[in-house]
């Protein structure tokens, strides 16, 4: 079954082919099978006329915490009155999440992914990290694995109140890791003051690696620290937040395969300095942009908003921001460039519109993508297609 997507005023392939005007795409069995000028498009079984709109790869949201219940608007409001963000707020969400029950967590996750799709997101990573005991973390990983593209085990998000840190880490790298290993493909740690130090973080990541999980790190969010260097040393796919970076951190990232994932909505909500995207790109690092949807620091799945912020506030060009939120996110999940074929798990590449990539398409309700930043906050997503099928 093939579908011709035509009437594309501006096509961002996010590949060497660049941006094409008056373009068309053919999708066959969920994968892009042809890309080029509309006048040269081959026939297909079906047609979607985009009506003179811009098309991008769907957003790849490589950092979310979608498995939670509860609300921390009071904490947010206090912060807006001058308070600062403290990792301890995670425990409030832990209580609400532990008492939610499986069907409610599942319903909340489905609603959150549906909202993300309505905003142009086609790939969603999500994490555990609000259960903080074996039973609740395994439940979170199991629920996440039913709906998310990638699942990250973040048992090392915070030492739960009243627990001893070493005892808790024994549980994280022991029964908790055993329990989530069938559902998660990544391990992560919040390597930050108030959460886990370098030695503790190293222990968690080594245990996950040993179990065959890929590594990612929350690092350098609240101050300079060891997160970035640890991530690069362990060949983590990404280090996320990256607000406070030394010159040595930037150089290490630029000389590595580790993606620096920026979370601009979180930076605004916590009133931390925005991650230094311009410096990272100028040094040659790969950057990603993700939403960081969570109830404490970033209660939004709007990648449109994050991309807009990167252009308006972080001085990325539109093309750089689009690339960071598509190809960058895919690289942060190690789902980028698979040479037009399939990866070792039989999955097509994400984050680009090239032959052989997943037909994950974001059709903007605008003739060009610069409208994302030019008309900030306006509804910008016309349709979203996942593997060539309408996502809403």
The correct pick among 64, 93, 122, 302 for binding ligand NIG (CB under 6 A) is 93
**Is residue 89 at the binding interface for ligand NIG, with CB under 6 A as the rule?**
yes
Q: Which two tokens stand for residue 138?
A: 């395994």
**Is residue 294 at the binding interface for ligand NIG, with CB under 6 A as the rule?**
yes
The stretch near ligand NIG (CB under 6 A) out of 17-25, 131-139, 290-298, 378-386 is: 290-298
Tell me how far CA of residue 35 lies from CA of 64, 107, 132, 356, in angstroms.
31, 37, 46, 10
Q: 259-262 and 287-289 as β-strands: parallel, antiparallel, unpaired?
A: parallel
**Is residue 381 at the binding interface for ligand NIG, with CB under 6 A as the rule?**
no
Closer of 6 and 292 to ligand NIG (Cβ)? 292
**Is residue 208 at the binding interface for ligand NIG, with CB under 6 A as the rule?**
no
The correct pick among 136, 261, 292, 304 for binding ligand NIG (CB under 6 A) is 292
Closer of 229 and 294 to ligand NIG (Cβ)? 294
130 is in an annotated binding site: yes
The stretch near ligand NIG (CB under 6 A) out of 6-14, 105-113, 200-208, 294-302 is: 294-302
Shortest separation between residue 178's beta carbon and ligand NIG, angstroms: 24
Closer of 57 and 328 to ligand NIG (Cβ)? 328
Please state at what angle helix 102-118 crosses helix 134-147, rounded to 10 degrees. Answer: 40
Shortest separation between residue 92's beta carbon and ligand NIG, angstroms: 8
Instruction: Give yes or no for a contact between 178 and 148, defined as CB atoms under 8 angstroms apart.
Output: no
Shortest separation between residue 292's beta carbon and ligand NIG, angstroms: 5
Calpha distance 329→245 (Å, rounded): 20
**Is residue 300 at the binding interface for ligand NIG, with CB under 6 A as the rule?**
no
Calpha distance 367→11 (Å, rounded): 10
Shortest separation between residue 374's beta carbon and ligand NIG, angstroms: 29
Closer of 9 and 243 to ligand NIG (Cβ)? 243
Binding residues: 63, 65, 72, 130, 157, 218, 221, 292, 294, 296-297
Return residues touching ligand NIG (CB under 6 A): 65, 89-90, 93, 190, 218, 221, 266, 292, 294-297
């Amino acid at each position: 079954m093939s579908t011709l997507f035509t009437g594309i005023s501006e096509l961002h392939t996010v590949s060497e082919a660049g941006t094409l005007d008056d373009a068309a795409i053919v999708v066959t069995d969920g994968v892009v099978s042809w890309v080029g000028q509309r006048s040269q498009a081959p026939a297909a079984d079906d047609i979607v006329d985009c009506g003179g709109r811009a098309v991008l790869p769907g957003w790849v949201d490589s950092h979310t915490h979608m498995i939670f219940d509860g609300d921390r608007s009071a904490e947010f409001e206090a912060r807006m009155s001058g308070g600062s963000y403290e990792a301890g707020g995670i425990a409030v969400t832990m209580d609400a999440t532990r008492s939610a029950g499986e069907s409610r967590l599942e319903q909340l996750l489905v609603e959150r992914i549906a909202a993300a799709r309505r905003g142009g997101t086609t790939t969603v990573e999500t994490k555990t990290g609000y259960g903080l005991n074996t039973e609740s973390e395994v439940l979170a990983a199991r629920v996440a694995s039913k709906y998310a593209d990638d699942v990250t085990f973040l048992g090392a998000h915070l030492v739960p109140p009243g627990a001893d840190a070493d005892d808790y880490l024994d549980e994280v790298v022991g029964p908790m890791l055993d329990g989530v290993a069938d559902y998660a493909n990544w391990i992560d740690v919040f390597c930050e003051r108030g959460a886990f130090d370098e030695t503790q973080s190293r222990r968690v990541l080594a245990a996950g690696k040993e179990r065959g999980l890929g590594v990612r790190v929350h690092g350098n969010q609240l101050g300079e620290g060891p997160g970035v260097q640890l991530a690069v040393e362990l060949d983590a796919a990404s280090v996320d937040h990256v607000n406070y970076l030394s010159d040595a951190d930037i150089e290490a990232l630029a000389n590595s395969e580790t993606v620096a994932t920026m979370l601009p909505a979180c930076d605004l909500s916590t009133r931390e300095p925005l991650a230094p995207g311009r410096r990272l790109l100028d040094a040659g690092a790969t950057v990603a942009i993700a939403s960081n949807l969570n109830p404490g620091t970033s209660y939004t799945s709007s990648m449109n908003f994050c991309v807009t912020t990167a252009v308006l506030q972080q001085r990325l060009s539109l093309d750089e921001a689009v690339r960071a939120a598509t190809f960058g996110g895919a690289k942060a999940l190690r789902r980028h460039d698979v040479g037009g074929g399939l990866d070792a798990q039989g999955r097509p590449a994400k984050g680009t519109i090239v032959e052989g990539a997943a037909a994950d398409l974001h059709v903007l309700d605008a003739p060009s993508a610069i409208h994302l930043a030019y008309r900030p906050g306006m509804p910008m997503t016309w349709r979203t297609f996942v593997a060539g099928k309408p996502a809403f």
